[in-house]
Structure 1
């Protein structure tokens, strides 16, 4: 920009000349300010003499000396050297020490500190590298492989754990012909140092051995590896065991099975895939032809655990099966509930009950049910915009009472269960007609040729015969009695049937009692009038 000004010098006294003179002064001032800023920044010294103490597998204390007399606070930066990415920052530290926590065991960390003064942040201090403390291995050995060398010997090799948490000092091999025994009762063999291969000898010919391996450090033992099984050789040699059998659900009805071919793949003519489920406990087999090492099981039951094994076959026979693996299909929406029944209770209430779908049709954990009800016309067609939903938010309940309906009205009722995946299939529609409304207007009766009005049930009448608090199915004193119809039947009724009958009896009883009370009351008035006149 400055060169551009000197290459185009306008006439003295012109306005253009004044502009470029001002522009030049602006750049000079900017340069001076920038140099002053750099000079000020240079005065901010970073902390010095960083030291680490109290080192554990997950924490350490970092200390330092101030680089300036007017330090306000400090910033600590740290990161594991083997992990790419930026430093983690901890700000607003008032002291000259800080304990960093939640670190990884046996990791090399790079640490540094920054001073904060009134004029800003200093540059980072010189880095300090520290290795955190050791722990026992926290992950199992990888890719444990076992194969027979002869009728009494098996060779085993493996890869070290992904998270050793320290220096591996050796390995332990556990093996048995009875995997149901506790591991402490298995035979074992130790391999010291960094060697990741061994053989176990003096085995029983033509027997299947289950093998696990673990690593250990000065801080303790790591977890056992996934078991592998191998059969000692027999006179007629069969294929080795397929490796790394894996199962992954890909839909509510499908599981993908993958594996690695055995080392003697040239002898394999086919694979036999075994699977059964946790509900039906039926054993199924599938034949898979090489070189395929993947198969998708279909037509499975949702929300079900499947047990899967694989064996290779040669012209000499079937080899040993792999260790059993498990996979669970995800939930799906349930099928419709069964045996849906609907009963009218009174003019505005209906009672709905149902049974849950069969276990194989539930396709998951049923969390509740939706009861759908809507008005229908004389042809049982749903009237638009009249459908409502009652949510029974309990998968163990199988009944609902729907209230606030219209008297003498036809309704269609359906029920559907729901899981986490959504609403299930609705049941077949049930049509129900609510009862007619009780006529509560005043009625007329004739007593001795005198026409009188009977008060409605809404009037306040004295006497126990008009108690509005009458319990469902009770007498005038509120005692619960079984309806006569059920007493005369030899077949016992269910509790739900009795509840419904008591409910209906109570409603009918209130109406009859009100009418009787009105008649008796009016008759008493007439008799009193006659006696008074005499």
Structure 2
């Protein structure tokens, strides 16, 4: 028996432990028991053995020494003896642990099929290692690829080297391993390096080799190619070699090489027809060739004979018969079974096409041709034919002339000259001379005389006319004309002529008729009634035929007998409409053509051609698909009704019955023959048929039934992305009824969705497994996949395309890395988008650092650039003359490889020196830099740039570029600078070498712009206050204006009118001046007091004044005081009128109106008016004594009323409703 399984230890104590196992997988008989042995490790003399029955699978060992290592063996026993021993070590009292992973894997001695693996064992877990397991990645190496178990070594606990057998030649491997003790397996070791086994010749030959007849001279060989795993070498060097030879000859074999490793069939050309061949094939690679396949046999197809019958001879046996004899076709040229012979014969220079005479049978080798023309030279050929067709005609042409005979009558006998006593006769030689014409005989007599009283004249063979004289006038004569050969006189031609001079052309024939009963497929019978002969007998008739609908008139015959009233018109086309016409000819000339006949249609005939391009293709394992092209329209000869397909099983030993299938559709172009026998060859021919019959048969085609390509494509194709470079494609096989045999594999076509023609690839899976992984694809790319199944007969249709997109991956390196505008502290670095984005680009990482530390510090700067649109970076923190190392990476889901470059900060050698005397001048809105040109460098200066350093950043940056070389100053707007920031500037000269040394920094300049006064804050505040004052004055004036209107409406009587007139007359404009002066005084006093303000005006809410009360109180009081307006002119002229007007609109019933209605108010004004002191001083005095209670005087002006009511500051009558008013 084999080894027991799952040996394990439990209940481990100092002096005992329990051993467990399972019965062997390979019993190899009946297990009768188990044998367990144990010994102190390394001491065979301490070995103890115990035998157990077959049902016991555990045993407790006792009496052990503590902390001692023991070796324990277990073996199964059958009647033959003990089987393989399973052994392990363990220390008593020390439970084992899981082992540690092996390490330091080293591979050596690599051969095509094995490799040596050396390693350092890991921790043994306090017990012996029972098994070593080696796993590997085969073919495809990567973190995503699966690991498979390659080798296991058991019962070698101290192994440090393993020989890994059964490897595949020329295959990449990567190994890892683990060790196993009775507790379990260890972790895996680190992976080894990747190796490739050496090449070896292929181990196997191609399988499923079959041969089929392709043509008369070729065989088609098919096979299942080797799968990738059996190439054993470089795939590009794998190919196939085919050798073949004739079975009936012991000749050396011929060979063909197929260099395409994926090819599944090959056609061997230039073989002998109808010959059996034997074939073998093998696979090879760059190292050598594999074994030959089994011999297969195939026979080429029958063909037409490739040679003509030999020894052809011909002999004329009579004037109408020729006898031909020949020998058979050489055997090697027969190319099939000779079914008979055909004699091709043609009257030279007379027949347009040769006629054929068929002799059936292979044994008849002579033929008698009869019904030939007399004394005519014939061209003769003989050919053999098989069922495929006619062979090669014999060469050279055999020329043989039939024997001579009496000639036929001369033709076209006419009398062009007829006199009263003479006639001239003209004729043409016989159409059938039947020999050499030796002369002519002319015989004539009066028509009324005895039939035997002819006058006879003989002339030579070259004579074509004769004149008969001494004739009776106005008499009818009968002329006979005959020709003579060696065989005698021929049949005479007879004609009648009247000796008269009154002749004319004949009338045309009439009553032309074609009886329908006389119409056939290729001929018809034309009848007519002759017209008047014009006193000159008709010599012959001429018939013309026109094919409808667009044919031209063609002369059919001009030698129809003058005695005829009907003729047969042949050589017509079947099922074609014609019209006919006729004319008569006498000695004078031709008549007019007769009227046309009605259209007459020939009958249908069998189609003249078979269907063309007939092909037979296996459709299923028991059916064949027949396809063809219809015959040409001009060969249909009628209305096509359909097709017939004749097919029979091919048995070369004996013929079999023929079956037929009729298709009644004239437009059909394909048909399927079903229920055929499997693994048989069939022959198929086709005919077209109409109501008359069938066409000739097409050339036979052969087809092998039993093998057919799958009729349907794989189903339910699914494309699933696995990784950035792999897609998994799964599908269901074609339905069983459409497989047509065993599916040998699948072809997976896949391409990038937007470029099928450039990227389409095909992977062949030579296993009927419906899953495949497409590897080495482009990341983040849409792929289209289509699958077809194939069997021994060929490929089935492709499935509908399915799409899948691979995952994103790290992008490729940027396409380029360039530096520009390199100064001593700045540069611009630009890079290109990766050629392979492998996903959606999320951004870039730019890392730069000096190659050597700068002042003891090596600073590494990393900049993340988000998005794909920005592929440049401005670097501004470089150190003059230091070389920097730049690295750029693109990022999708992760960063890709770096693109690296070095660059040295300026100035470059040969660049310009620094400009001098940089001066900055600032105006209100501009800044002007001036400088003096420095040293130009190796080449002339081409321009300048200005660099700026703002105080809030501290880094120089290019501020202005492309300043002309002739410039020594530059003006820039302060708007381009940030407000409130101080800037330093310097100038850099540029030439073709690069940017030069910068100038010394300019003095720091503030970017603050001096704003005009109208943009200052205080100006805006003053304007706002002024606007408010103006608005208040306007409103106040409008209120007073409205109030005076009311006073005017309330005033009655003459007094008011007189008062208004006196004011206007006496004062002249002075009243208005005093109003303005009073108003200005108030404003001046108000504005000039240092901080004093008038108290707020009281708004008596408890008082009510009506307009009527006001009018009654003011009426008359105003009149008494009107003269005193003149006394105030001096005071008004002394007032200060420097401030702007101030007007305040008051409520209608304000306290001002209240004072105006009080008489004491006017009295107070009159008393104070005598003092003639300036009003401002009075206000100031009052204000100085009673600043807290000062009330400003109120001025009310009414443009329409002329009422002026000033209130003196001394009038302080209490108002009802105010608690305190002083």
TM-score (ref. length: structure 1): 0.40
Q: Which has the higher contact order (CA 8 A, sep 6+)?
A: 1
Give 1 or 2 for the bigger CA radius of gyration.
2
TM-score (ref. length: structure 2): 0.18
Higher helix share: 1
